[in-house]
Amino acid sequence: MELILAFPVLCFSVLLLQWLRRVLNARSRLPLPPGPRGYPLIGNLLDIPKVMPWKAFGEWSKVYGDVLYLNIPTQPVLVLNSAQAVLDLLEKRSEIYSDRPPVVMDELIGLEWNFVVMGYTQKWRTHRREFHHYFHQRRIIEYHPIILQECRSFLRRALEDPAQLASHLRLTYASTILKITYDMDVDINSDYLYLVEKALECISPTRVPGAFWVEFLPFLKHVPSWVPGAYFKRHAERGKPLIKRMRDDAFDGVKARMAAGKARASIASDLIERLSGGKSLKVEDEELARNITGIAYAGKSVSMTVIRLILNVFSISLAAVDTTTYSAKAFLLGVSLYPEVKRKAQAELDRVVGPNRLPDFSDYDNLIYIQAIALESIRWMIIFPLGVSHRLICDDEYRGFFIPKGTTVIPNLWSILHNSEDYPEPMQFNPDRFIKNGRLDPDVRNPLTFTFGFGRRICPGRWLSSASIFMTIASVLHTMDVHAPTLDSESIDLFAVKTEGILMNLADIPFTLTARSKAAGKLIGDSALFS
């Protein structure tokens, strides 16, 4: 019904937009960047693969070059397949490439409070500034004790119940951010985690390619929910209360504890005190505080769990990607397939940390190989191979080509991080590629330059994520052996499995962790005494 309602208007809109685009392009006096020829009216709409599009874009770049233009009805798309193109546009010209494509369902379902999907506006700048205040590099040092506590809790859970390893990882990073943000203690059966799960179930369908025609024709958002075919409106009405609670419930708990004089230090309590100045919070300040704290956990969960992509128009509007849980899984896969990596890492840990204690952040500078494993885990299997899209806010020229205002710009991170010139034999898990003369090699392209976004839209939570990944790897390898007996590097096809649409999704592999020794097992058990 929705298709029947929208199709005539869509056809007319496509014809009009195509004509306007031709007129504007003719006036530019410059050609558009090269790309597949496409079809009349619908352009490249049918050319876009729905399975592993990053791989297809990489192949196309061999024909058309590293800057690839796709003519999609209602939305021009530019795919950047090289590090140079990404840095030239999204970094060096970030003042005009920092907007986000709008997603109508965000407005309808009540997710517009998440600043990572906001346009490049003053409201976004205010939210970004406040978030950065709590998550910049120097501030993360204050959270090291919490990261250590949660990593060691993970070790104990993994040793006690190795069959639930994936759940233990998810709980570890959820607990870390909730403790930092709200001083909230949770377990796997927490009501709040259940609430977030239900809210994400409502968000997820809004990201399915082509699921809602309102993304093609935004005026449909004004259609009443009772109209036949307006399923999108009814779906939004069901999800909106859950998403509001996902943002507000934990924040309201902090407010209640503060009123009772029982609140401990957290980002939420500090925000309330700082913005109120000891008085009652203004409405706009409370809204800002709710948004900032909600983004810290729920917003990052959204980005980890779903893809904000209407594939047919390629309007990606993700929260900057939290790679922590995924990178931890990639690390487990890497050391399972390449046991020599585990041996080298454990030799370094034995030398630097020794047998009588667990690693901590004071060991960071001396654990060069662990740092390299973290970098390789992030590079090797990136969860969002097409990164986070940007939108151009004015006409631009690049390499003699015209790029029209409103173009959605997609960085093909898979191509960049698997470029054999920068990373020889890129499908191998090889931390040694980052090391030279016993130190990290500054001449090797750092994957963190790309994984966490670009320019003014770079992920403000990247330092917390990087610290958590490092400590997880160090803690696991110092005390445990990783086993996945059904895997070997010859039999597993890393391209064919673990992919879902445009999301890299590591398969559920039966990893097991066992204590390296009785002494290591005792270290894990004793860590509970100091939590």
Domain containing residue 129: CATH number: 1.10.630.10
Bridge partner list, 513: 482
Q: What are the residues whose beta carbons fall under 8 Å from the beta carbon of 304, sequence distance 6 or more? A: 321, 322, 325, 326, 383
Mean pLDDT of 195-223: 76
In the block, residue with structure tokens 């998550």: 135
**Alpha-carbon distances, residue 531 vs 70, 205, 354, 473 (angstroms):** 53, 40, 21, 19
Q: How would residue 522 be classed by pLDDT, with cut points 50, 70 and 90?
A: very high
Is residue 88's pLDDT more than 50? yes
Angle separating helix axes 165-182 and 144-160, nearest 10 degrees = 150
Q: Where are the beta strands (DSSP E) in 215-341?
A: none
CB 251 within 8 A of CB 184: no
- Structural domain includes residue 261: yes
Bridge partner list, 69: 78
pLDDT tens sequence across 134-177: 999 999 999 999 999 999 999 999 999 888 887 888 888 888 98
pTM given for the model: 0.85
Is residue 495's pLDDT more than 80? no
DSSP string of 7-75, one letter each residue: HHHHHHHHHHHHHHHHHHHHHH-SPPPP----BTTTBTTTTS-SS-HHHHHHHHHHHH-SEEEEEETTE
CA–CA distance, 180 with 176 (Å, rounded to integer): 6
- Structural domain includes residue 466: yes
Q: Where are the beta strands (DSSP E) in 414-516?
A: 435-436, 439-440, 480-483, 499-500, 503-504, 512-515
H/E stretch holding 183: none
- Structural domain includes residue 62: no
215-223, Cβ contacts within 8 angstroms, sequence gap of 24 or more: 215/103, 215/104, 215/105, 215/310, 215/313, 215/315, 216/6, 216/10, 216/74, 216/310, 216/312, 216/313, 217/6, 217/9, 217/10, 217/13, 218/102, 218/104, 220/5, 220/6, 221/104, 221/107, 221/108
Amino acid present at 390: H
What pLDDT is attached to residue 2?
47
Least confident span in 66-75, 198-207, 305-314, 394-403: 305-314
CA–CA distance, 261 with 257 (Å, rounded to integer): 6
- Structural domain includes residue 90: no
| Number of domains the chain contains | 1
- Structural domain includes residue 41: no
- Structural domain includes residue 9: no
151 is in an annotated binding site: no
In the block, residue with structure tokens 């795919």: 79
Is residue 311's pLDDT more than 50? no
DSSP string of 111-136, one letter each residue: -TT-GGGS-SSHHHHHHHHHHHHHHS
Residue 515 belongs to what domain range?
122-530
> Alpha-carbon Rg of the chain, whole angstroms?
24
- Structural domain includes residue 496: yes
pLDDT tens sequence across 243-278: 999 899 999 999 999 999 999 999 999 999 999 887
Q: How would residue 28 be classed by pLDDT, with cut points 50, 70 and 90?
A: low
Q: How many CB atoms lie within 10 A of CB 116?
A: 26
What pLDDT is attached to residue 13?
61
What pLDDT is attached to residue 491?
52
- Structural domain includes residue 58: no
